[in-house]
């Protein structure tokens, strides 16, 4: 299934590209996109094409923070029809919940999982792309846009506790530090932001319950973008939960607000099984993580939800016909 996103990122890209000396019309045409996506934020375009534009632009300019700059330029209004609803949420926690609820208006690709720990909250960002690696540009754009959203709600002086990326650090970190501050971690086991725990429930003084209700009613009455299938929801949730050892059907069903029996029945209606989707997601994640030579096999096993590296190795050999060590050596 083609993963679709709003073209809003390319309307922001337009100015960044021109400032970097690129011809944005030429760049989107090379990726097979119509130039209308540079001027119309609510078109639905393939995520793969957006990633191609960003990666090609970074290569041509030598600016490996180009996606980050696009995300930095995002404002609350760039969230389109959901913007009014987000603006008038009483807390960041509730704004994040609304993003998840109306995610189909924004992107089939992006998911944000909130986990809470003593003193801090972690926003885990995952991208469903169909590629083995989502790519530096797409991920940095997404994390930067989320950072911009939080500052719109909590105030321009807000700064994260720390910012994490799974990919390696670029040679030049000036733009990252300008946006996020000094507490950056690359080669992390997740992509996302760490906040002070109190940030989630800090009161938004601009929130207006009446306007939030109006916005929600408007969204609910619109046909909007097509909601993803139950299989897409399960894949997305598994990608979030497996690295935390929570890939059982009961845990996935709870995260989706349904029961295990109902979830399995919905999948059966589409000719699918939960175990097959777990396997599919594990295959994708295994190839993604093994491409990073810095990750030891024990860590990859954990990120795929295996309690023991030996269990991961047996599963991998059954799936790919070779051990994970050999797969990595072969550069498969």
Domain with CATH 3.90.1520.10 in the chain: 4-201
pLDDT digit string (tens) for the chain, length 332 residues? 678 889 999 999 999 999 999 999 999 999 999 999 999 998 889 999 999 999 999 999 999 999 999 999 999 999 988 999 999 999 999 999 999 888 878 888 888 989 999 999 999 998 888 777 888 999 999 999 999 999 999 999 999 999 999 999 998 999 999 999 999 999 998 999 999 999 999 999 889 999 999 998 888 877 655 566 788 888 888 888 888 888 889 988 888 878 989 989 999 888 889 999 999 889 888 888 888 888 889 988 888 888 888 999 999 999 999 899 999 888 75
- 162-165 and 184-186 beta bridge pairing: parallel
CATH 3.40.50.620 fits 4-201, yes or no: no
Domain with CATH 1.10.10.60 in the chain: 230-330
pTM: 0.79
- 304 near 242, Cβ under 8 Å? yes
Compute CA 271 distance to the chain's CA centroid, rounded to the nearest angstrom.
Answer: 27
Give the CATH H-level superfamily of domain 230-330: Homeodomain-like (1.10.10.60)
The separation between the first and the last C-alpha atoms of the chain, rounded to the nearest angstrom, is: 24
Q: Positive or negative CA dihedral for 183, 189, 191, 195?
A: negative
Angle, vertex CA 229, rays to CA 52 and CA 125, nearest 5? 50
- 38 near 25, Cβ under 8 Å? yes
């Amino acid at each position: 299934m083609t993963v679709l996103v709003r073209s809003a990122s390319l309307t922001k890209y337009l100015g960044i590209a021109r400032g970097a000396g690129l011809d944005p019309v030429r760049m989107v045409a090379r990726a097979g996109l119509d130039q209308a996506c540079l001027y119309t934020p609510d078109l639905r375009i393939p995520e793969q094409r957006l990633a191609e534009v960003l990666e090609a632009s970074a290569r041509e300019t030598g600016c490996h923070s180009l996606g980050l700059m696009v995300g930095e330029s995002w404002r609350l209004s760039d969230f389109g029809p959901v913007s009014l609803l987000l603006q008038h949420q009483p807390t960041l926690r509730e704004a994040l919940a609304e993003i998840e609820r109306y995610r189909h208006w924004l992107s089939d690709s992006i998911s944000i999982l909130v986990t809470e720990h003593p003193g801090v909250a972690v926003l885990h960002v995952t991208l469903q792309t169909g590629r083995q690696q989502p790519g530096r540009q797409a991920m940095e754009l997404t994390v930067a846009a989320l950072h911009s959203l939080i500052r719109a709600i909590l105030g321009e002086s807000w700064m994260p506790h720390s910012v994490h990326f799974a990919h390696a650090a670029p040679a030049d970190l000036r733009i990252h530090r300008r946006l996020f501050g000094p507490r950056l971690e690359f080669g992390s086991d997740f992509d996302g932001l760490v906040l002070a725990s109190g940030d989630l429930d800090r009161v938004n003084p601009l929130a207006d319950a009446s306007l939030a209700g109006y916005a929600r009613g408007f969204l609910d009455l619109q046909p909007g973008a097509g909601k993803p299938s139950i299989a897409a929801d399960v894949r997305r949730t598994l990608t979030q939960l497996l690295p935390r050892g929570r890939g059982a059907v009961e845990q996935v069903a709870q995260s989706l607000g349904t029961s295990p029996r109902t979830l399995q029945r919905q999948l059966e209606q589409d000719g699918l099984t939960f175990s097959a989707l777990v396997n599919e997601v594990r295959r994708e994640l295994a190839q993604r993580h093994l491409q990073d030579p810095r990750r030891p096999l024990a860590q990859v096993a954990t990120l795929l939800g295996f309690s023991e590296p030996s269990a991961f190795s047996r599963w991998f050999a059954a799936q790919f016909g070779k051990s994970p060590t050999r797969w990595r050596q072969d550069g498969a």
